[in-house]
Amino acid sequence: MIAAKKKVSLLGVPLDLGGNRRGVDMGPSAVRMTRVVEGIRGLGFELVDRGDVDVPLPEEVSPGDPCQKYAADIRGVCENVCKTVYQCHQEGHLPVILGGDHSIAMGSVAGTAKHFRERGQQIGLLWVDAHGDMNTPESSQSGNVHGMPLAHLLGMGNPALANIGGISPKVHAWNTVLLGVRDLDLREKSMITDSKVTVITMREIDRDGIAKCLDDALRALLHGTAGIHVSFDMDVVDPSLAPGVGTPRKGGLDYREAHFAMEAVADCGKLLALDVVEINPILDTRNSTAELAEELILSALGKRIF
């Protein structure tokens, strides 16, 4: 059973202000076009679809500071995401959040952290991503906020983004795991090293196998925590399987590795919330990336081979 919850809330966040390629705002719709609703209900969950959070279009707002483009508007969206995710937890639901670019996790993780912080508990954060997302406005070469959310969740960077939900940091470095990393900026590498988060790159997965890597990850994630918020960027999967992402990089997780990671989370019984982000239907092939996202959601919620 998933963290003793049998109710799931589905929430879409069609945000594309965090990156520099349009189309990721259609990610929630692409996933809803699959059989994800029927699949979740088929696993025995009561499902509430809370629709989509309102987000501004790039044409409606100013990018502002080129070092952190659209930061003020992204913060506004993330505050609303935080409130909705927090309410889901208050009602005893497990939130499944569909992106949108990865900056939405500044809101979703804040909502989970706030709920459990009020109960005197910390959370673990499993960040499954080809990239570190540990830049700050000072270190970023692009100014794209979707490359900064993990840094802000750990309390670094712009205080306005780091304090979404009224708490900072949202998670401790020793309860945070980066899984599947294979594409890091030079300055970002040193920031990740200094942060003391657990980093499991594709090299470690190649060398040790996904099972050992998940065992190591879960030890860090569950040490003194209420459970795990998983934030899954679809670009962690090899682009031969997930072409519909904005920043594809060869050499990612294969089909079974991605599923094993989510199955391991389900098996531990401590999943608190799940983000699935960066699905871009414009770049996809026959909605295959969204369909894989649906499968991974179901694996995280406990679907088994046997």
Angle at 87 between CA 38 and CA 266, to 5 degrees: 50
Q: Which run of H or of E encompasses 182?
A: none
Known catalytic residue at 152? no
Contact 37, 22 (CB under 8 A): no
Known catalytic residue at 284? no
Q: d(Cα 182, Cα 68) in Å, to the nearest integer?
A: 23
Tell the burial category of 105 from Cβ atoms under 10 Å away from its Cβ (0-12, 13-18, 19+): buried
Contact 104, 277 (CB under 8 A): yes
Q: d(Cα 223, Cα 1) in Å, to the nearest integer?
A: 20
Known catalytic residue at 146? yes
Known catalytic residue at 235? yes
Q: Which of 183, 275, 278, 291 is catalytic?
A: 278
* Tokens linked to 209: 């196998």
Known catalytic residue at 185? no
Q: Which of 16, 73, 183, 233 is catalytic?
A: 233
Q: Which of 89, 93, 115, 131 is catalytic?
A: 131
Question: Cα torsion at 282, 25, 150, 226 (round to 10°)?
Answer: -110
Q: Which of 129, 183, 275, 291 is catalytic?
A: 129
Residue type for 253, please? L
Q: Which of 89, 93, 115, 146 is catalytic?
A: 146
Q: Which of 188, 235, 275, 294 is catalytic?
A: 235
Known catalytic residue at 223? no
Crossing angle of helices 288-300 and 255-268, rounded to 10°:
30
Q: Which of 89, 102, 172, 229 is catalytic?
A: 102
Q: Which of 16, 25, 101, 133 is catalytic?
A: 133
Q: Rounded to the nearest 5°, which phi and psi values hold at 51? A: 75, -155
Contact 265, 126 (CB under 8 A): yes
Catalytic positions: 102, 129, 131, 133, 146, 233, 235, 278
